[in-house]
Amino acid sequence: MLIQFSVENFLSIKDKVVLSLLASKDNEHPEHLIADGNKSYLKSAVIYGANASGKSNVLNAFWFMVNYVLTSHNQQLHKTIDRSPFKFDQEMPARPSSFEVIFTAEGIRYAYGFSVTDKAVTEEYLHYYPNGRQALIFERKDTKDFRFTVDIDEQNTLKERTSANKLYLSVASNWSYSKVIPVLEWFASCQIITKNSAADAYGREAEQLKDDAYRRAIASMLRVADLGIQSLQIRNLDSASSQYGGIFTNIEAIHTVQDANGNAFSYALNMAEESDGTNSYFNLIGIVKRVLDQGTLLVADEMDAHLHPLLTRHLVSLFDSTEFNPKGAQLIFTSHSTNLLDLDLLRRDQIWFTEKDERTAATDLFSLYDFSVRKDTKVEKGYLIGRFGAIPFIRGGM
């Protein structure tokens, strides 16, 4: 479960911004919360903002962190770290970019963070709270200065295998150091769909569609969306035909229609022949099902692209539901669909905004809860007239 993510000096983000899923004192929609001891956390959060305000960059920063944790142990010696610092300030490219997550894994809270320049990891740390109190697993400063309080001999061996441009967490987990394995597994469980991640939700789940039970479950989700699809089937193509698009070209959607006499007939359409909206929904629901089944985290940029607003509301409601999300899966996404700005649908602390400073061009991130709006506020109307900022200022002219 993600509790908090923060980032500094990355893309359009100059100063530190924090996305928190710790529930506020808002007592609306208690079913939208995950209870953990005496605290509660949000099942979903949506980020709004004008184009180029930086809302996607918040998610891109999270993807960078996850990707670097999972891959930096393979980083070649002296290879440049492919980070993107804030560029509208002459001093920022020389400063480190910093990332931190606070989360729970296997019932234990962890805080992990690192800072990187183009050439090296300058800082890295991992704390955990096995008995409710903070304990140090490792700490790294000035690239090579490590401090350990547990498994000191083992960790001293692992640090010698960690070059300047590699994360110690990645190296230690690659060598199966038990204290960091739950952390690495948490990062690996995160499902991310952004332009930078090049993640194809459908591609991740495609092979599962060969399983009859899984295919029936996906077809059921398609029927709920009222797309006219009754079932799915796999057809076998020769190897030459299937080279284009892989298994995707083998999937057919079955539609049932009636003729003028009321007789029902079934027809098959290849998924490539379906509409963009149908395919967008189809691309999402496989990964949504997986995240809900496993109780993990889905981060999706512009999740509602090509989707009818009611379908987007339905997907969000699955995560905020007690019935369909018993394992506490979480969803973080960006959107331009203002019909979600409804306090009958979301809590005030589930709605976030990004705004770019006109003077510095830096992104700020803040919550609707910061405005202390009343429970009967028409949030969509208030947002569109600029009450909360985070909208484009459209000047006259062409």
Could you read off the pLDDT of 74-94 as tens digits, one per residue? 999 889 999 999 999 999 999
Q: Quick one: pLDDT at residue 47?
A: 97
Average pLDDT over residues 356-376: 91
Range with the poorest average pLDDT among 145-149, 181-185, 203-207, 284-288:
203-207
- pLDDT-derived band at 251, boundaries 50, 70, 90: confident
Q: Is pLDDT at 167 greater than 60 in this prediction?
A: yes
Range with the poorest average pLDDT among 125-134, 149-158, 218-227:
218-227
Q: Quick one: pLDDT at residue 117?
A: 98
Q: Quick one: pLDDT at residue 29?
A: 96
Question: Rounded CA gap, 173 and 342, in Å?
Answer: 43
Burial class (CB in 10 A: 0-12, 13-18, 19+), 13: buried
Q: Quick one: pLDDT at residue 284?
A: 86
Range with the poorest average pLDDT among 6-10, 70-74, 237-241, 384-388:
237-241
Q: Is pLDDT at 240 greater than 60 in this prediction?
A: no
Average pLDDT over residues 270-288: 84
- pLDDT-derived band at 393, boundaries 50, 70, 90: low
- pLDDT-derived band at 273, boundaries 50, 70, 90: confident
Choice between 306 and 366, residue whose per-residue pLDDT is larger: 366
Q: Quick one: pLDDT at residue 241?
A: 43
Q: Is pLDDT at 396 greater than 60 in this prediction?
A: no
pTM, to two decimals: 0.91
Q: Quick one: pLDDT at residue 309?
A: 85
pLDDT single digits (tens) 100-151: 999 999 899 999 999 999 999 999 999 999 988 999 999 999 999 999 999 9
Average pLDDT over residues 171-180: 97
Average pLDDT over residues 246-270: 81
- pLDDT-derived band at 199, boundaries 50, 70, 90: very low
Q: Quick one: pLDDT at residue 194?
A: 83
Choice between 280 and 139, residue whose per-residue pLDDT is larger: 139
Q: Quick one: pLDDT at residue 151?
A: 97
Q: Quick one: pLDDT at residue 128?
A: 96
Average pLDDT over residues 226-254: 68
Order of all β-strands in the sheet with 264-270: 231-234, 251-258, 264-270
> Quick check: 360 and 89 in contact, CB under 8 A?
yes
pLDDT single digits (tens) 19-60: 999 999 999 999 999 999 889 999 999 999 988 899 999 999
Average pLDDT over residues 367-379: 87
Q: Quick one: pLDDT at residue 394?
A: 53
Q: Quick one: pLDDT at residue 257?
A: 87
Q: Is pLDDT at 7 greater than 90 in this prediction?
A: yes
Range with the poorest average pLDDT among 122-126, 255-259, 326-330:
255-259
Choice between 386 and 135, residue whose per-residue pLDDT is larger: 135
